[in-house]
Amino acid sequence: MNEHDLLDAIGKTEETMLEASEKRHIPWKALLTAAACLLVILSSALIALHPRIAPGPNVPTTLPGQNIMMGLPGQIISTEHISWLQNSDFYAVESDLSGSIPGHYFYDSQFFFQMSVEARVLNVLPDTYQYPGDHSNATKYRILRMELLDAICAENMPSEFFYLLPADISTDLSQFDSLILTIAQIGCENVMMRNTDQRRFEAFRFLFSSGSFEPHRGAVIACTDEKPDPRLWQLEGWRDWEGWPDTLSDPDRYSSYPGKRDRRVPEIKAAIEQGVRDYQQKNYFLQPNAVIRNSQLNWAEAQAVLELVTPFENGFYSVSYWTNPRNVIYQRFANGFETNAYISINLDTKEITAANTFSDTDLSTLPDLKPYIASAGSIAPPDPRNSDRDPYAFCGVKGSYEKHGEHVFGIVTIYWGYPSVDESEPYVDCIVRKIRTSSYLLVYPNGKATEVEDYDALKALIEAHTG
Partner 1 sequence: MEDTKIIDLYFARNETAITETDQKYGTYCRSIAWNILQNHEDSEECVSDTWLRAWNAMPPQRPRVLRQFLAKITRNLSLDRFRAGHAQKRGSGEVPLALEELKECVGSGDPATEAERTLLAQLIESFLQTLTQRDRGVFLRRYFYMESRKDIAARYGMKETTVRLCLSRTRQRLREYLRKEDFPL
Does residue 52 bind partner 1 (CB under 8 A)?
no
- Which segments of 365-435 does DSSP mark as H helices, in order? 370-377
Whole-number CA gyration radius for the chain: 25
List C-alpha distances in Å: 277 to 9, 155, 271: 20, 14, 10
177, with CB counted inside 10 A (0-12, 13-18, 19+), is middle
Does residue 195 bind partner 1 (CB under 8 A)?
no
Near partner 1 by CB under 8 A: residue from 103, 126, 382, 405: 103
SS3 state at 53 = coil
Binding segment (CB under 8 A) for partner 1, from list 1-9, 146-154, 345-353, 402-410: 1-9
Near partner 1 by CB under 8 A: residue from 82, 137, 168, 211: 211
Nearer to partner 1, 99 or 245 (CB): 99
The dihedral over CA atoms of 194, 200, 206, 210, expressed in degrees to the nearest 10, equals -30
* Spatial separation of the C-alpha atoms in residues 415 and 131, rounded to whole Å: 15
Binding mask 327-366 for partner 1 (x = CB under 8 A): x---------------------------------------
Near partner 1 by CB under 8 A: residue from 272, 310, 378, 430: 430
| 3-state helix/strand/coil string of 319-359 | EEEEECCEEEEEEEEECCEEEEEEEEEECCCCCEEEECCCC
Does residue 426 bind partner 1 (CB under 8 A)?
no
Contact by Cβ (8 Å): 146, 163: yes
Short-list 355, 336, 346, CA closest to 68: 336
Binding mask 83-102 for partner 1 (x = CB under 8 A): --------------xxxxxx
Does residue 20 bind partner 1 (CB under 8 A)?
yes
Does residue 437 bind partner 1 (CB under 8 A)?
yes
Subset of residues 254 to 293 that bind partner 1, contact rule: CB under 8 A: 255-256
Subset of residues 107 to 136 that bind partner 1, contact rule: CB under 8 A: 112, 114, 131-134
* Spatial separation of the C-alpha atoms in residues 394 and 456, rounded to whole Å: 20
Q: Measured from the CB of residue 6, what is the shortest distance to partner 1 in angstroms?
A: 5
Binding segment (CB under 8 A) for partner 1, from list 57-65, 183-191, 242-250, 369-377: 183-191
Determine how β-strand 178-185 pairs with β-strand 191-195: unpaired
Does residue 23 bind partner 1 (CB under 8 A)?
yes
Binding segment (CB under 8 A) for partner 1, from list 151-159, 368-376, 401-409, 435-443: 435-443
**Partners of residue 178 on adjacent β-strands:** 223
Q: Measured from the CB of residue 203, what is the shortest distance to partner 1 in angstroms?
A: 14
Q: How far is CA 424 from the centre of its chain?
A: 28
Near partner 1 by CB under 8 A: residue from 186, 272, 308, 393: 186
Subset of residues 369 to 408 that bind partner 1, contact rule: CB under 8 A: 395-396, 398
Short-list 355, 367, 455, 454, CA closest to 408: 367
Q: Measured from the CB of residue 364, what is the shortest distance to partner 1 in angstroms?
A: 27
Nearer to partner 1, 1 or 31 (CB): 1
Nearer to partner 1, 23 or 52 (CB): 23
Short-list 410, 406, 150, CA closest to 270: 150
Short-list 144, 140, 142, CA closest to 127: 142
DSSP string, 236-250: TTTTTSTTHHHHHH-
Does residue 308 bind partner 1 (CB under 8 A)?
no
Q: Measured from the CB of residue 62, what is the shortest distance to partner 1 in angstroms?
A: 27
Binding mask 138-167 for partner 1 (x = CB under 8 A): -x----------------------------
Other CB atoms within 10 Å distance of the CB of residue 214:
16
Nearer to partner 1, 179 or 207 (CB): 207
List residues near partner 1 by CB under 8 A.
1-26, 97-104, 112, 114, 131-134, 139, 183-187, 209, 211-213, 255-256, 320, 322-324, 327, 395-396, 398, 413, 415, 430-431, 433-434, 436-438, 455
